[in-house]
Structure 1
Amino acid sequence: HTEKKLFVCFNSYTEKTMSAFSVVINTGGAFGPFCDHRTLIYNKVLTNIGNAYDPATGIFTAATPGLYYFTYLYHAGGEHRSELLLYKNNEIVARASDHSSKCGDTADNGGNAVVLQLIAGDKVYVRMSANTHIWAANDTTTFSGFLIKMC
């Protein structure tokens, strides 16, 4: 009986503090270039445990202080420059980029990953640099994150 109480207590504790999301941008093909930096709004939500990812803004907001893992991946045509930046609040914490190629390079994939210490209210998001592009179809451009450990 004590085991069951402990299990129920543990489950309600983890459900309230769990945070994990995985999203995809699927807008139908080539995305960009734009004249300014753009926060990517990933419109296909695969997982959003804790609802910390806002599909209207593309921004993850930490509800629980702790250690988090984030990764983002993209697909792009090789003939254009691509660059995605991962931000914590207003600071760039990771970059993934590829220069254009005129040598028959038809496609590129890139990405990056980080572990970040966040406090409640910190925001993490991906921005596409001005005058770059990505491919936004076929589930090839993703953004994911999860809470590793509460602190």
Structure 2
Amino acid sequence: MWLRDTEATWKMNFTILWFVLLFCGLILAQDEGTAIETQSCFPDMCNLLKEFGAMREKLGAMETRLKDSETRLKDSETRLKDSENQILELKNKEFGAMREKLGAMETRLKDSETRLKDSETRLKDSETRLKDSETRLKDSETRLNDSENKIVELSNKERTKVIFSASAGGSGRIGPFNTDTTLIYRAMKTNIGNAYNQFTGIFTAPVAGVYYFTIFYHAGGEHEVKLLLYKNNEVVVMTRDHQSDSDTADNGGNAVFLQLQQGDQVYVQMHAKSHVWGFNHLTTFSGFLVTQM
């Protein structure tokens, strides 16, 4: 831009000088009668012509330099365009490569997200199956514990043996007494489980279950016989015989199944004014555990 302004200025100055010289030539043409040599021109005009020549030379040099500058400028512009084109091409190439890389990365990212979702789904399924397995395992453990408890219970039932048998003992008649009296069978025959107490005459159930009891007696006819089998404070069964002058000996008995709870008591009471015969082989009280409940 600066070079173009300078060129316009020089062209304007050159035009002005051209008109000045033309004017001077017209004045010299009017003075043909005067002998003037080329070297005898007016001093101011000569100086002006010299300056004009110098300026023309400078102008030529300036024009040459201006052309060179314009040529160099065009070359620079061409090189600049080439550089810009190269930069744009590189940018396009880099952008294309980056876009391809970005596309590849997006594809890999989508694949990773898909695989992650699949993994999360499989993990949830595994967690659900694990919870189900844990629930089933707990149920199995509960059932196993129940089965083991039942097995232990059955084993305990099988191991629990309760069997006893005892006779009244003594050397003759027992009774009669003025009040009801618990008959104590002192002569033990069998006492597996130690549920019968030969000192109190009371059987105490060690476990809940069904038991079988029997009572038998031998007595004379001169007095009444009346034996009552009690469960706790309740009469369950009894056996008896009336007084008889003609009947010198009597035998009798009874039996019963009883469902007892642990700690229930069973015993035999002899009614007031009744009697039995003792000895080791006559009057007996027996029982055993049929099944545990």
TM superposition score normalised by structure 2: 0.46
Q: Tell me the distance in 1 between the aligned counterparts of 2:279 and 2:217.
A: 10
Q: For 2:202, give the aligned amino acid.
A: I
Counterpart check, 1:141 vs 2:283: yes
In structure 2, the partner of 1:4 is none
With CA pairs under 8 Å and 6+ residues apart, which has the higher RCO, 1 or 2? Answer: 1
Aligned to 2:165: 22
Distance 2:240 2:218 in 1: 11
> 1:121 aligns to what?
263
Match of 1:64 in 2: 207
Task: Tell me if structure 2 keeps the 8 A contact 1:75–1:140.
Answer: yes
User: Would you say the 8 A contact 1:74–1:142 is kept in 2?
Assistant: yes
What count of residue pairs does the alignment treat as equivalent?
141
Task: Look up the equivalent residue of 1:148 and give its one-letter code.
Answer: V
User: In 2 relative to 1, CA 15–28 (structure 1 residues): closer, same or farther, beyond 3 Å?
Assistant: farther
**CA-to-partner distance for each residue in 1:64-121, whole Å, 9 max, x for gaps?**
1000000000000022100000000000000100001122x11000110000000000
Root-mean-square deviation (CA), in Å? 1.6
Alignment of 1:21-40 (within 5 A): 21-40=164-183
Larger radius of gyration: 2
Deviation of 1:13 (Å):
3.5
Higher share in helix: 2
Instruction: Name 2:224's counterpart in structure 1.
Output: 81
Instruction: Flag as ranges the 4+ runs of structure 1 deviating above 2 A.
Output: 12-16
SS in 1 for 2:156: helix
The AA in structure 1 aligned to 2:282 is T
Aligned mates of 1:80, 1:131 — CA distance in 2? 8
Question: What one-letter code is carried by the residue in structure 1 that aligns with 2:209?
Answer: G
Tell me which moved more, 44-53 or 135-144. Answer: 135-144
| Aligned sequence identity (%) | 57
The structure carrying a bigger strand percent of its residues is: 1
Question: Whole-Å Cα distance in 2 between the matches of residues 119 and 68 of structure 1?
Answer: 10
Shift of 1:138: 4.3
Any conservation in 2 of the 1:16–1:50 contact (CA below 8 Å)? no
**Aligned residue type for 1:83:** K
TM-score, L = length of structure 1: 0.89
1:80, 1:124 → 2: CA distance?
A: 26
Shift in Å, 1:16? 4.4
Q: Where does structure 1 lack aligned partners over 5 or more consecutive residues?
A: 1-8
Which residue matches 2:253?
111
Pairing of 1:32-51 with structure 2 (within 5 A):
32-51=175-194
